[in-house]
Every structure is written in structure tokens, then in C-alpha cells.
Chains A and B, each alone.
Chain A
Amino acid sequence: MSLLVPESGLFIWMLLAFGAVFFILAKFGWPVITGMVDERARYIDEGVSKAKEAGEKLEKVQQDTERMLQEAQSRQSEILEEAARMKQDIIAKAREEATVAAQKVMEDARQQIQAEKENAVRDIRRQVGELSVEIAEKVLRHSLSTDEAQMDYVNRLLDEVENRAQ
């Protein structure tokens, strides 16, 4: 059957035509297209990996920011706490100092009062002594006319002095 027998003429033409097409396309056609297909695939791969990298970087930056923010917040609260503590310290110290000063003033006052009192007592004593000597002179001059009376009075005075010395 003629359909199953290859015709030599067509075979030769096919060899030439296909060979020529193959040669021309291998030289001017396919490498350009497949080169671009390959290059584009690489370009897309690169783009994907770059995008991934950028995403990772962004995430890192976000984490850093968050961490810094938290640090700042904790630092702020620390500072506020310290300030409050310092305030209380200062107040307490001031109060203590004031107390001490007040006590000192009171002590001074008390000592002064004591000294004044002693002075006054000493003064009074002196005046009382002088007054009593004066009075005694006057009394003595007036009433010690008899011997008995003189003796009684001397005795009495001696007793008194004795009592006081005890």
C-alpha cells in the first residue's frame, strides 16, 4: 500500500526543509526565547527571595521598635518611682531635721530658764540675807536688852542654823 512506503522525494525534501528550519531556529529563534524564559524565571526567583528578605528585615525592625518602646516605658516608670521615693526621703529627712532643731531650741531655752532661775534664786537669797541681817540688827538693837533674852535668842538662832545645815 502506497501510504506505508516512504517516498524518497518527500523524504529528501523533508530532510532539507526540517534541517533548514532546525538550523535557522537553533541559531536565531529558540536561544533568544528560552534565554529570556530562563532569565525571567531567575529574575522572579530573585524577586521572591528579596521580598522575603525585606519582609524578615521589616519584622526585625518592628520587633526592635517594640522592644525599645517597652524598654523606654519601663525606664520611665522606674524614673518616676525613684522620684517619688526621693521626694519621700527628702520630706522625711526635713521633718527629722526640723524635729532635731526644735528639740535643740527647746533644750537651749530650758537651760537658759534654769540659769535664769538659779540667778534669780541666788539674787533673792542674797537680798533675803541682807534683809534678814538688817532686820536682825534692828530687832537686836531694840529687844536684846536683858541678858536672858539675849541668851535665848542666841540659842534659838543657833538651832536654826543647825537645822539649816542639816
Chain B
Amino acid sequence: MKEAGQLDVTAMIFDHVGDSYYWHLTDIGETSVSAPLPVLVYSEHTGWHAFSSSHFHHGHEAYEGLAIAPEGSAYAGKIIEVATGERPLFDASITKNVAGLLIASVLLCLMVIGAARWYRKKDVTAPVPKGFVGTMEMMVSYIYNDVIKANVPEHTARYTPYLLTVFFFIFLTNLLGLIPGSANITGNIAVTVTLALFTFVITNIFGTKAYWQEVFWNKELPAWLRPLMAVIEFISLFTKPFSLTIRLFANILAGHCALLGVISVVFLTAVSMPGGGNYGMSVVSVLLAIFLDMLEVLVAFIQAFVFTMLSSIYIGLSQAHHHE
């Protein structure tokens, strides 16, 4: 088990990729430097609670009948009711991930509206923008022309805002997640499942008659195959958002875990090894960590791109028309 001075890699990794009621920044010696966050809980027994997470004293104390479940229990790290030992009915606390999410949302709005301001002031004869606005335009036109227009040739204007928001939201949160000490937003399944649900709803709510016919009674198939395909197609309506959810979540989470694991090797080899440690191995680990970090920047883009690409393909399919 864990010894004093020994690095608990598993706990460290889970602390980084998981959610928390504190924003843990760093440790100085034995003191943990972290920012408390607001707790907002509704319990069916005791009603609404709203207070700072500092009242928990890092899980050592209970407050207003609520406490953070200790490690090893079923709800480890989550708020439980002291009386019942169960989760409260509704926990809408501003956790680390929620705070990161809100920061990313505000940042994204500022970035895009800031870029849009440039266009409001200029007309078409103005030279192409440089710097930040130029970068935004480069990415917007890439996604817009090569992904959205290519996959959603009809009603493009209706779906463009959603698809661009999805791309930039995922890309930005992926990149923010790579900053040490930041929240792991897209590596959280609640976030990706929401995004996938948006795609699912937007895809199916405007689905054309031809699209539903292809799903439930595809006339291009032989008659005996149609009922079977209807079942498969119906299931695939739900596997599509499911795969979107898991792909993004798992890629980002795995990337973070791998990166944290490699960084841990630096300390394990340099500090924790008996007989002084192996500094050569630490150098290799640092180089590997830098490489993995670069790779994660690439993954941040690729996953945002893939999510947007697949969403636009699903939407494009839902706009099918019979070519007769």
C-alpha cells in the first residue's frame, strides 16, 4: 500500500481527470493549494443547500447534513447525505468541471463575437484579416467549406451555427484541458453525452420523409430484408450518438491518463526508486511527455474535427430526398 513520501500514481491521475468540489491547483509541501467552489444541492429530505465547498474542509467535515464520501465508498469524492449515506436527489454544484465549462463557454463567446466584430466593420473588399481574426477565419472556412457544405448540401444555413459551435467548443475545451491544473471537460462523459444528444436531436427533429423511410422501410432493399434492416437502422439511430459520446470522452480521457502516467514516471524514477533514482530514465520520460503533449494537441483538433464531421454526415443523411 501507499507509503509516506511515495507517489500514489492512480490517485494522482484520478484526481486530475475526475471531477471535484475544489479546483486543485498544486501542492506546496504538504499543503494543498486549491480554490473552493460553490456547492448547490437539492435534497428530497432537507431541501436546497447552497454554500462554499470550503465548509467541507477537504472532506474532513460535514456541513448542513452533507459530506463528501470518503475514498473506497460507492460515491467516493461525491457529496452524500450524512443521514442516509446516499447521493442527494440533485447535485448542481459548480464543480471543477462546471467551472471550467463555464469559463470555456464565456471564452468561446468572446472569441467568436470578437472575431465577428471585425466583419461587422468591414465589407467584402477589405483585405483578408490577419492575426487572431485571420486564424478564426481560416478554421471557420475550413470547417464550413470542407466539412459542413460537403456533407450538408441542403439547408446548410440552418445547421452551420450548430456544427461550428460544436467544433470550436470541443476544440477549445480539448486545448484548455491540456493546460496543467485545468478541468478535464471533454474527458467527462456527461459533457460528451450532452453534445451527442444535441446532434441526435438536431439530426432527427428535421429528418425528411425520405430519411425516415430509409430507416424503417428502405425500398431499395428486397422486401424480405426490409423488416430486419428496420430493426438494425432503428438501433443505429441510438448507436450513432452513443459512439460520438464514447469516442470523444475515451480519446481525451485516455490521452490525459497516458500523459499523466508518463509524467509520473519522471518522479517515480527520479525520486521514488530505492538507491537514489534513475535520472536518465527521467530525461526520457520528459521527452516522451513533451511528445505526448504535442500529440494531444493534434488529438484535440482531430477529435473536434471527427465529432463535427460525423455530426454533419448524420445531419446530411437526415436531409435525404428521393431521387426519382
Contacts and interface: CB of A to CB of B under 8 A. Distances in A.
Given A3-B18, A20-B105, A33-B119, A10 B95 contact: yes
A18 B195 CA distance: 8
A32 to B, nearest CB: 4
A53 interface: no
Contacts of B293: none
A46 to B, nearest CB: 10
Contacts of B233: none
B232 interface: no
Nearest to A11: B190
Interface stretch (A23-31, A81-89, A118-126): A23-31
Nearest to B75: A2
Contacts of A15: 194
Given A9-B92, A13-B102, A37-B145, A25 B112 contact: yes
B92 A18 contact: no
A90 B79 CA distance: 126
Interface residues of B, number: 53
Contacts, number: 130
Given A3-B18, A9-B98, A22 B188 contact: no
A10 B98 contact: yes
Contacts of A12: 92
B304 interface: no
A32 B137 CA distance: 11
Contacts of A33: 112, 115-116, 119, 136-137, 140
A21 B108 contact: yes
Contact of A10 (B141, B157, B169, B191): B191
B162 A17 contact: no
B113 interface: yes
Contacts of A9: 40, 90-93, 95, 98
Interface in A85-119: none
B11 to A, nearest CB: 14
Interface residues of A, number: 36
B113 A28 contact: yes
A142 to B, nearest CB: 145
Interface in B14-37: 17-19
B122 to A, nearest CB: 8
Nearest to B17: A3
Contacts of B160: 30, 34
Given A2-B77, A7-B190, A43-B125, A30 B165 contact: yes
Contacts of A31: 157, 161
Main SS at interface, chain B: helix
Interface string B48-85: 00000000000000000000000000011110000000
Given A32-B116, A32-B119, A10 B164 contact: no
A29 to B, nearest CB: 4
A165 interface: no
Contact of A22 (B120, B137, B165, B253): B165
A6 B165 contact: no
A17 B102 CA distance: 7
A6 B241 CA distance: 14
Most buried by A among B90, B105, B112, B113: B105
A36 B101 CA distance: 29
A39 interface: yes
B194 A3 contact: no
Nearest to A4: B189
A10 B97 contact: yes
A5 interface: yes
Interface in B192-211: 193-195, 198
Interface in B126-175: 128, 136-137, 140-141, 144-145, 157, 160-162, 164-165, 169
Contacts of A40: 124, 128
Can you list the 7 inter-chain pairs with the closest CB atoms, starting with the nearest? A26-B161, A29-B112, A6-B190, A10-B190, A32-B116, A14-B194, A11-B190
Given A7-B188, A11-B194, 5 more contacts: A10-B19, A17-B101, A18-B169, A25-B109, A37-B144
